[in-house]
Amino acid sequence: MLRDFGPDNILNWTTTSHEGIYDLEVTVRNLTNGDVATTMLPYRFQSLLTGGKAVATPTSHSLVFLFSAPGCAAGGRMRVEFGMGTLASPDMTTSEGLRQGSQYTPFKACTPGLSMNFLLAGMRAETAYTARALVDTGSQVVAGDAVAFTTGSLPKGLYTDTIPKPYVGYSTDPVLLGSAIGAVPAANDLAGNVIWYGVGNTGLLTRPIAGGDMWGLVENAGAPASQQLLQRFDLTGMIVQSTNAARVNEQLQAMGKRTITGFHHEARSIADGRVVVLAGVEQVLTDVQGPGAVDVLGDMILVLDKDLNVVWTWDTFDHLDPHRAAILNEKCPGACPPLQLSSVANDWTHGNAVEETQDGNLLYSTRHQDWLIKINYDGGTGDGRILWRLGKDGDFAMQSKDAYPWFSHQHDGNFDASGKLAVFDDGNTRVAQMGGGNSRGQVLQVDETHMTVTPYLDADLGVYAAAVGSAQRLRNGRYHFDAGFVQENKTIDSYSFEVSPTGKIDYEAHQNVILYRSFRMQDMYTPN
C-alpha cells in the first residue's frame, strides 16, 4: 500500500528497485454513498544502464544520486562504495572503510539479468565523488568500474551549524541528522557541512529507518482529519507510503475505540515491519481537571502493520488517572495536535516518544506527567496494563543524594544497547520548583526486579531547553544529547553535545533553529 484513502489525486512515485512492468492499482471511494471504483495502469520502467556499464544518475535532489550497475550472480550480494578521494580496498570491513573516508550503501541481494540500483546520499554540495559496485560472492569481494560524478548546489533557507567545540579524531557516528521545527530537516557532518536536506512536504521528521527511509508527520491545524498525515519518505523526499487520521479513525470506530485528532511527536519502526505512532485523543470531563466541563487532551498509542492498518492501540483515558492533571498545568493551543471538541483544552499527558523495549513491551514518555511508563505490549498480544511508572512519585526508588534527581518534562527516553536508560531531562518542573537550573543528559541504571534507579551519568549541559530534546548512546560508548529549544539573547537555538560517561563534553554544535530531535548516525542509511 502506497497511499491509503486520502484527499490527493496525484501520485508522484518511481521505483528504485529494477526495471520492469509495474501495475499501479488505484481505488477511489465516494465518501457520501460509499461507492468505490478501481482502475489499474501498467507502467514500464527502463534500465538506466548503457552498454552494460554502471552509471550515476542525478535525481531531483541535488545531493542524492541513483547508482545503477549490471546485475550479479544469484547467491551473491551487492553494495556501493562512494567517496571524495581514493576508495578503500574492496575487501575492507565497513568500519575500516569509513576510517579511510569511504561510505557504503546497504547490501542488496543480486538479481541476475536485471540492473541493481542504489540511492547515494551523505555527500557535500558541489563536490566531485567516485562510486563503484562491490559484489560479495561469498568467497571474495569483486569491485566494479569506478564512476565519477559531481553533486549539485544547496537550496537556500537551510539551517546552519556552527561548531564551538570541534570533534577530535575518528567518529563512529559522523552524521548529525536534525529534525527542524519551522525549517526543513537536514544532515551535517561533524564539521558543519550539509550532506543532506529534506525536500517537499515531508512533515516533521520523527525517526530514520534502517536502509535510508524516514518517518514524518504532517500536522495541519484547522484542517480535516484526512489532512493529518503519517508518511514514510526516501532520501530524495519522495513519499513512499502514507496514511491519514481519517482512515485510521474508520478503523478505530470499527474496533469500538475512541477516534484521534491527528498524529504527533512520534512515529518509528518496530519489530515485524510494524510502526508505532502517537496520536491525540480528546474527552470532555466534568469536575475532574477543573470545575464543570473541561476538554482534556490525552494520547493514543497506535501500532500499525506494514500496510499501515491499525493492529493494536493504547489509550491514556483507559489506563491513566485523569485526576492527576498536567504537572505544570499546561494548556492547548500550543505544541499540541489539532483539537476537535473545543478551542482550548488541558494538555494532560503530551506524549513525545514511544519505543519497543528489548522484552517486547513499550516505553512511553509523557512529558506533562514527568513519567516514563512501561506498557504491556508483549509483541502485539499484550493487554496494555501499566507495568511501571518511572519518575517522581512513580514506582521506583531513586538512589541519589541530588536535591532533585528525577528528570522532568523529559524527551526521548530509551533503553540503549547496554541496557541503561538514556533520557534528555529538560528539567521544567525542577527548574520551576528550585528557581533555576540547566537541562541534563541523564543515563540511569534501572533495576526492574528491586524497583530502584541509580544514576550512571547526570551531565549538566550548561543550557536550559524548555522543550524538545534527544538522548542517544553512540557506538563509541559516549552519549549524544540535543537541547533543542534554548532561548538566549532573544534568539532560540539548538545545542548538540557528545558527552563522555564521566560527563565531559567532547563535541558541541549549535544550530540556528529549533531541533525537535537530532540523531547521530554512521551514515544516512544506518540509524544508531
pLDDT in tens, the chain (528 residues): 899 998 888 888 999 899 999 999 999 999 899 899 999 999 999 999 988 999 999 999 999 999 999 999 999 999 999 999 899 999 999 999 999 999 999 999 999 999 999 999 999 999 999 999 999 999 999 999 999 999 999 999 999 999 999 999 999 999 999 999 999 999 999 999 999 999 988 899 999 999 999 999 999 888 899 999 999 999 999 999 999 999 999 999 999 999 999 999 999 999 999 999 999 999 999 999 999 999 999 999 999 999 999 999 999 999 999 999 999 999 999 888 889 999 999 999 999 999 999 999 999 999 999 999 999 999 999 999 999 999 999 999 999 999 999 999 999 999 998 899 999 999 999 999 999 999 999 999 999 999 999 999 999 999 999 999 999 999 999 999 999 999 987 788 999 999 999 999 999 999 999 999 999 999 999 998
Write the class of the CATH domain 55-150: mainly beta
Contact 515, 211 (CB under 8 A): no
Backbone φ/ψ region at 318: left (φ over 0), alpha (ψ -120 to 50), beta? alpha
Predicted confidence at residue 200, as pLDDT, reads 85
Predicted confidence at residue 489, as pLDDT, reads 74
Residue 133, phi then psi, degrees to nearest 5: -80, 140
- Helix%, strand%, coil% for the chain, nearest 5: 5, 45, 45
Cell of 166: 570541534
Task: Reply yes or no: is the peptide bond before residue 333 cis, omega within 30 of 0.
Answer: yes
pTM of the model: 0.96
Contact 355, 363 (CB under 8 A): yes
DSSP symbols for 73-130:
-TT-EEEEEEESSSPPPTTS-HHHHHHTT-EEPPPEE--TTS-EEEEE----TT-EEE
Contact 133, 95 (CB under 8 A): no
DSSP symbols for 186-220:
EEEETTS-EEEE--SS--EEEEE-TTS-EEEEE--
**Would you kindly state where each structural domain of the chain is located, as residue ranges?**
55-150, 396-528
Residues 162, 52: Cα–Cα separation, whole Å: 44
Q: Among candidates 211, 170, 174, which has minimal Cα distance to 193?
A: 174
Question: What would the pLDDT profile of 279-296 be if each residue is shown by its tens digit?
Answer: 999 999 999 999 999 999
- Cα separation values, 506 from 128, 165, 411, 499, Å: 31, 7, 22, 6
Residues 133, 16: Cα–Cα separation, whole Å: 16
Question: What would the pLDDT profile of 458-476 be if each residue is shown by its tens digit?
Answer: 999 999 999 999 999 999 9
Using CA atoms in the order 141, 142, 143, 144, what is the torsion angle rounded to 10 degrees? Answer: -150
Contact 210, 519 (CB under 8 A): no
Residues 179, 185: Cα–Cα separation, whole Å: 5
Contact 124, 154 (CB under 8 A): no
Contact 418, 473 (CB under 8 A): yes
Residues 138, 350: Cα–Cα separation, whole Å: 50
